[in-house]
Structure 1
Amino acid sequence: MPFHYGPENLQSLLGIAVILLVCWGLSENKKRFPVFLALGAIGVQVALILLLFAIPQSRVLLDGISAGMSALSDATSHGMQFVFGYMGGGTQPYQVTNEGALFVFALRVLPLILVIAALSALLWHLGVLKVIIRAFGFVFEKLIGLGGASALGVSSNIFVGNVESLIIIRAYLDKLTRSEVFMMLVVGMANVAGSTMVAYVLILNDVLPNAGGHILAAAIVSAPAGVLLARIIVPETVDRKAEKVDYSSSLKYDSAVDAVSKGTADGMMVAMNIAAILVVMVSLVALVNMVLGGLPNWGGQPVTIERILGVIFTPLAWLIGIPWAEASKGGSILGIKMVLTEFVAFLKLAAIPLADMTPRTRIILTYATCGFANIGSVGISAAGFGALMPQRRPEILGLIWKALVGGFLATCLSAAVVGALPNAVYGL
């Protein structure tokens, strides 16, 4: 693999430095910058990305991931066709003149969440997911210095989501320090749930080669990024490194059937929440755009919320490695992700024609978008954390907006790390 380092890679390096500097500026104790954690966290990100994309043998793994996600999508379509017939993708009773119109988000993407949620619960009950989480917990314990419940919470966050990871460590919530609570908030917003990963892949599959590998990598590398930025903003004052990681959990199912049933119910709640949020958010954007349409044209085109967000976030898009010619589009995607949701942002990203955006920019934006750090998640996190830790609700509310900034910048840090590596790593 030829090693070539260009100005765009140095641009991403500058972005890494600026993101760390911004978080240091928000720090509650600027004298406690975690230098070794910064080196370890970014090192873990680089190592994982190289492991997945730079080693020739990793192609087998990526192909396996893509095949597995395709199988899940195909299996889900069988269930949808059984229940909804032609509306779920079955044989059409009439002549189809527009194949694209058959893609209905509610019937093609959201059902995947039900299947993945049920499968995740089953794998947890069978112990498979516990082994995977234990492996990541060991890595986080050794390489970035996490200890105790925080290592388990962060590693489980990658696969089960924000509030669900707290349920796994419920027995230790009263022992978490202020820094650990903040870290769980930030990591939760920087990550996504396993139940939504395949849905993202389905959305991006036609415009992003190796979409499954990139989404999986984005979900994993954002965890150490979230830990790092959280520790910079709210430094830890208690040494947890000597504590043994306890992988016991209060999350239990009575049987395999119970796991599938409860997993399906949880998935239904997630899918319905996503559907409701998307309906409301897309409608509000349309309403705002109608109001903005009354303003004079800007640059020969109507003023829209997407264009305004593009201007606001253009500098950040450039810092993470996106060329200036595409930074406005990238800034728009970043703004939509924060103000609306990552689902809307991914849909917008997938709608950009291949000729209108370079593959490198699309890859960087995938990592920057893959996280729950949006305004809607503030309410979800506050409610979930507050319900599980009612005695610390005022503290959580005092940290939640700062956690949104940390979680959003964590995904941008991951994107900048991706952009800082040679383009040849991704076959560009």
Structure 2
Amino acid sequence: MPFVLNCIGIVVVFGLAYLGSMDRKRIDALSLLIMFVLQLIATWIMLSTAIGQRIIQAVSDFFLWLLDCSMSGIQFVFGNLAGGADIPFFISVLMPIIFIVVFFDILTFFGILPAIINTIGWILSKLTRTPRFESFFATQVMFLGNNEVLAITREQLARMSNQRLLTCCMLGMSCISVSVLGGYMQLINPTYVLMAIPLNAIGALIMTSIMNPYKVSKEENVVYKRTAAERRNFFDVITASMLTGGKLALIIAAALMGFTALIACINSILGLFHDRLTLENVFAVVFSPFAYLMGVPPVKVFTVAQFMGEKLATNEFVAMGHLSPILPTLDKHTEAVISSFLVSFCNFSTVGIILGSVKALFDQEKTSFVAAQTWRLLASGLLVSFLTAMVVGLFVW
């Protein structure tokens, strides 16, 4: 029965996306089928085959190595605070972001990461029949994050239609950045973190193809490339990267403190009306049907829905931080679906960040168009997270 519910949940997700479509006649059903099958194949390979397990283990070991390298610098600065069993969250989870940002910026400087992105993007475009730029954009946000990709592709996006810009913003709602992977992997099972990355990218293409479908001419089906003039000095790159990583860690820390305090404040006010009335419980009521359709045991539905709502209202770090201590109490399927759901940037604050980036990078017409579709940004991100969780859930029981 739970497996059947999981399958019904996937149908419901597709149905909701269809209801939110801007032009249902333009939806390419064959492309959607290909992308969904790709999700199933990727999940099966990663979770059910020896080679998939080796890939996950190798990537996990790679990030653990990055974390170990990060800790050498952290221990030099923080000394005993970076050792022992009770390492502060800021030091153990957020400080490694600095070195990880630097490492991947070095890979970008020498053309290694762009080569990987271009290869994956080209393959994805050919397999899924989606426009080249959108496929490359989905691949880029899978590695670099939404703001960064909007910035480096701004010149081509400025010449594109408003609909294509909206698609890119919707894709950005479902991404994560490699800079935060190490933090995620310290809080939840690395397998589900790594699984969610490609599934979110393909799922985002699925949802945008349903909710915002369009055709692209051969002349428009091109991809932006950086010019030689945009390359910077190596030491300038790594210095800027260190500062960027430090700012990112501080920004996340500030957001965590602020949102945690805000939730406590709201819950205190709500508690004046009823002792069980909290923000988490309000969102849990909304998300409980989706948790049930994920095949979660009825006794855990409300708990899982609370984490979903918490992620939406705050961010994934807050939800993962609260989820981590109770993971041993969850069955394998429940752990898989809620962990996979949390691995994305989809929340209220990301909507604001994307709208702010669009306003800073593009003209008023494009800004107004994207702003008018704010609900689609949020809906597409949520539906991608539901789809990823449900697909992973099909293979973990």
- TM-score range, shorter-chain basis? over 0.9
In structure 2, what is the equivalent of residue 163 of structure 1?
Answer: 147
The equivalences for 1:347-426 within 5 A come to 347-355=321-329, 357-391=330-364, 392-421=366-395, 423=396
Is the 8 Å Cα contact of residues 337 and 345 (structure 1) preserved in structure 2? yes
Match of 2:80, SS state, is: helix
Given the alignment of the two structures, is residue 190 of structure 1 paired with residue 183 of structure 2, yes or no?
no
Aligned to 2:62: 68
In structure 2, which of residues 267, 285, 290 is the aligned counterpart of residue 316 of structure 1? Answer: 290
**Other-structure match for 2:242:** 264
Displacement of 1:167 in angstroms is 2.5
Aligned-pair CA distance for 1:251: 9.4
Q: Which residue, out of 221, 228, 242, partners 1:243?
A: 221
Q: Does 1:287 align with 2:287?
A: no
Identify which of 322, 337, 340 aligns with 2:311.
337
Which residue is equivalent to 2:115? 131
CA RMSD of superposed structures (Å): 2.0
Structure 1 residue identity aligned to 2:300? E
Partner Cα separation in structure 1 for residue 178 and residue 259 of structure 2: 23
Return the alpha-carbon distance in structure 2 between the equivalents of residues 84 and 61 of structure 1. Answer: 34
- Could you state the TM-score of these two structures normalised by the residue count of structure 2? 0.94
1:273 is matched with which residue: 251, 270, 277? 251
* Runs of 4 or more above 6 Å deviation: none
When you count helix as a share of all residues, which structure comes out higher? 2
Residues in 1 aligned to 2:71 and 2:355: alpha-carbon distance in whole angstroms? 35
Aligned residues: 396
Tell me the amino acid that sits aligned with residue 328 of structure 2: L
What secondary structure sits across from 1:294 in the alignment? Answer: coil
1:227-238 pair list within 5 angstroms: 227-238=205-216
In structure 1, what is the Cα distance between the partners aligned to 2:229 and 2:127? 27
Q: Offset of 1:63 from its aligned partner?
A: 1.9
Kindly state the Cα deviation for residue 199 of structure 1 after the two structures are TM-superposed.
Answer: 0.8
How many Å apart are 1:218 and its aligned residue?
Answer: 0.4
Distance 1:25 1:267, change over 3 A: same
Q: State the match for 2:197 in structure 1.
A: 219
Q: Residue in 1 aligned with 2:41? A: 47
Counterpart of 2:197, as a letter, is A
C-alpha deviation, 1:410, in angstroms: 0.6
- Larger mean CA deviation between 77-86 and 385-394 belongs to 385-394
Name the SS for the 2:26 alignment partner. coil
% identical aligned pairs = 24
Whether the 8 Å contact between 1:169 and 1:249 is mirrored in structure 2 is: no
Q: Which residue of the partner structure matches residue 31 of structure 1? A: 25
Unaligned runs of 5+ in 1: 1-6, 93-98
Which ranges of structure 2 fall in alignment gaps of 5 or more residues? none
